[in-house]
Chain A
Amino acid sequence: MSLAMTRALMGPTVYDRVLAVNTFGTKTVLLIAALGFLTERPEFLDLSIVYALINFIGTIAVLKFFEYRDLGWTRPPEAGSE
């Protein structure tokens, strides 16, 4: 999870950040489920179902915003100077 956070913080484009946040959300879902197993509380699985859905909807919403508001070009100049 910390490695995904590293990519989210240093990723050169917006899409890297969105991808890292999506992976982070998937890992959070699995962490909540495993925590529910470790603490013998199966209610945590419902929380992780809700978290999976919210993660998906949030990713789609951010992508739509960046695609239709024309904010997609955020490439730094040193990445394009090949």
Chain B
Amino acid sequence: MKVNELSIIVGGQAGDGITQAGVNLGLACLRGGLHVFGANDYQSLIRGGHNFYILRISGEKIFSQTDFVDLLLSLNEETITLHKDELTAGAGIIYDGEEVTLNEEEFEKAEIKLFPIPLMKIVRDLNGPSIARNSVIVGATISLVNYDLELLLNTIKESFEGKEKVATLNMNAAKAGYDYMEVHYKNKFDYKLEKLGATTPKRMMLTGAEAIGLGAIQACCKFYAGYPMTPTTPLLHFMASLQREYNMIVIQVESEIAAINMIVGASFAGARAMTATSGGGFCLMSEGLGMAGMTETPVVIMLGQRPGPSTGLPTYTSQGDLRFAIHAGQGEFPRVIIAPGDVAECFYKTMEAFNLAERYQIPAIIITDKYLLESHESAEFFDTSKVGVDRGLLISGEYLDEVEYKRYKITENGISPRAVPLTKNTIVRANSDEHNEAGYTTENPQLTTQMTDKRYRKLEALTKELESMETIKTFGAEKSDATIIGWGSTKGPILEAMKILEKEGLKANYLQVIYIAPFPAAKVSKILENANKTVIVENNKTAQLAQIIKEKTKFAIEHAILKYDGRPFNPVSLSKQIEEVF
């Protein structure tokens, strides 16, 4: 009997309500005090194809999915064909026995238990649409693992908020699935889930995109412009749905070019402003990014990576745009690039991004990927007072100095007081051409040098400030046989792989680089100086962070574990690859 350690895949066609099923189940587990992690896998189509959602449930804190599946919830035959090799001995499959015929012998040999249930018939008997099979199958799951049906029924009810009829139908569907299993398969499955006591502090289940949205809202972002592009569209939806409640303007525009230029205008006028896109859209934003740099207008851009080049694999994950983010835009200008690795970092680092963008009047890029943005994680409630809002040298209302206001006043640390238009006693002039202190166009060589130096002094000041901020994190013992280095969403699988390595008696520690630009060279050097074997883990072909480390420090990382098939790392296989390094 295995208690509170379960990996489930819900699979079916696009339009079968796969993610919703996974989320409802996950939330029911979360409310019973369990930890969850859920990742989706879908193709670039609306109907058909193969979609799945992998949900891992545990009594302990977990950081990613696992390589294996203990329970397969299949809404079509293809789900079984595609995932049967991932099933562990003792695993089970819930499927529609009236629609799909399986070779029972084959599965028996592999020690896989089959749990056929007439999903479609149950839905038809309730006069429901076929999509409601997703509720039947999660209800059935609750019975199989001996969990609390009420918790599931509540999450289903809430997921159809405002649609009472649909909610009732789906609750009945879940209950029917549950009842069927109670009658036919009571205590036939070796995996159980047990509720744990109430948690303090409270936990929630959310995606990286939602955490970034919460961070932006808490940071008082008031203007969001975006063009839909996977995997950043969920953030657009999240912000749009909350704009009224939080007094934001959220606007879907005609292109990513419009988005970046619009947020520059919005920020110039005094609002904290943000956009989000993926690689293709970020290509279009490059010129506007440079304009934000040149005009010293703070903006926050969330870049959610997916595999390229070009259209690539639109609905999958990648870390191929790191160097692009660092170098995008013509000319030289300072920027800050932050790579959160989990939902909590998505929240806190987004708040930091807004503060740094405004304090230094530069563009801030939050670099993420599909895996981080769309995966669900259980996390403690965020501490909303931890970061705060610091708008830097912003002036509104009235300018009180006796000296005439100049937007690009040359100062010691390069930061000029930033008045918003309509401030009394000011005329505010922003210029994408090289300019003098007052913002008038210039082609003067001395002034060009002075202004470039002024902008780069801001980078010096920022670099200094970052020394006291959390720009890297380390995990594991200081003295280890191997040091794993990574950035962004590889964090979860790496932490899980470390658990496995530890069980096998191998000592590895992990350096997570969170700030990519300005690069925390001193801190990274210090870790690498004390490291034995070093291995980089990245979801790209060319080990981009390793290249940057080589550029910014004297260290060459010895080994690289690279994955560029559009899929995230799985912890068991990753741990095996790391073992080879020892």
Say if A and B assemble together: no
Interface residues, chain B, with chain A CB atoms under 8 Å away: none
